Amino acid sequence: MGFSTIAIHAGNEPDSATGAVSVPIYQTSTYAQESLGNHKGFEYARTQNPTRSALEKNIAALEGAKFGFAFASGMSATDAVLKLVKAGDHVIVGDNTYGGTFRLFNKVLSNYGIEFDFVDTSDITNVERAFKPNTKMVFVETPTNPIMTVTDLQAVSDVAHAHGARVVCDNTFMSPYLQQPMNFGVDIVVHSTTKYLNGHSDSIGGFAALNNEEDAEWIKFIQNSIGAILSPFDSFLVLRGTKTLAVRMEAHDKNGRAVATFLAEHPKVKKVYYPGLLSHPQHELASRQQKGFGGMVAFETGSLESAKKVLENVKLCTLAESLGGVESLISHPATMTHASVPADKRESLGITDGLVRVSVGIEDVEDIIEDLDQALN
């Protein structure tokens, strides 16, 4: 079956009670039991909810995974996946993840005896060198937020598996439409469904998809034990969102390419970070690993002052954190999404005070370009 058919039908069976074509929002905390221990597979809504189950089947199918779990946010999905490792274990992480992921690993989980090393995973020799006898997981984001560095997922999977470690990929920037990490040996895919999967900037959520049954049992146990579940209403919204994922991603990709090309030719722009450009150092890898390049573009204006001018003079693009919605958003990574990354580390990664990030929406692209042009000028 094709991607759009799966997106529209997986998990979306007509409701067994009423025949409703759209999966209902089961807004309930608990379920009546006919007699003691005799129920319809649903006992308590932290543990199971039909709206959430439908979404879990849907996104798992889109990632080509057997199991899927929906969480209250992207961060809680990542946190649940990190509960597969224990105190004394070592995790290799890409050095340019979303700032919140860095914060969770560096400021929270490191307090519980988990050891993290942050390396540039776009160079496989850095990954090879970072392995220790206690390495149990490699966590990558590709392309990275916001510098758009691409990691070779097959190469990382091969190295990690040779060391008996799991590979986790945060696929938020691509969505399963543009990249399916499991095709390259990745064990677990995480998402902030807040972004492209929901696609309409009206829900916070997260997801973990995987094939290993034992790991899936543990993540399900964690989901129920900690309770950072996606609500029925948010599950409904994301399920509605994924039905149009393919058409939205095509539009984001088309507009993203056009905006990146425009920026690359603009005299006020010093550098553009977009894997779809021939000048991107991993353009060839991105072309092989991804079905497209998506709607995330970052560019260097040269100074905080120049960045501020762009950010404060746009009219169509909205100055806001987040990404992946139908509307174009513009942000300043150094003070917004990556403020929790130390300044010297930010600087070395290229997250300068002059860096601006655009989540290119699906408006008419001439209007987005005209807006950026007038703000730059």
Binding interface with ligand P1T (CB under 6 A):
73-75, 98, 100-101, 141, 145, 170, 172-173, 192, 194, 204, 206, 321-323, 337
Pick from 186, 26, 206, 14: nearest CA to 100: 206
Q: Which is nearer to ligand P1T, 12 or 194 (CB)?
A: 194
Q: Which is nearer to ligand P1T, 337 or 352 (CB)?
A: 337
What is the distance between the alpha carbons of residues 196 and 279, in angstroms, rounded to a whole number?
26
Catalytic site residue from 79, 152, 170, 234: 170
Q: Which is nearer to ligand P1T, 51 or 142 (CB)?
A: 142
Residue nearest to ligand P1T (CB): 74
Q: Closest distance between ligand P1T and the C-beta of residue 153, in Å?
A: 15
3-state secondary structure 224-286: HHHCCECCHHHHHHHHHHHCCHHHHHHHHHHHHHHHHHHHHHCCCCCEEECCCCCCCCCHHHH
Catalytic site residue from 26, 98, 177, 274: 98
How is residue 46 written in tokens? 């932290």
Q: Closest distance between ligand P1T and the C-beta of residue 77, in Å?
A: 8
Q: Closest distance between ligand P1T and the C-beta of residue 42, in Å?
A: 26
- CB neighbours (10 Å) of residue 234? 24
Q: Closest distance between ligand P1T and the C-beta of residue 336, in Å?
A: 7
Q: Which is nearer to ligand P1T, 12 or 231 (CB)?
A: 231
∠ CA 279-283-289, rounded to 5°:
170
Catalytic site residue from 52, 136, 166, 195: 195
Catalytic site residue from 31, 46, 120, 270: 46
Q: Which residues are catalytic?
A: 46, 98, 170, 195
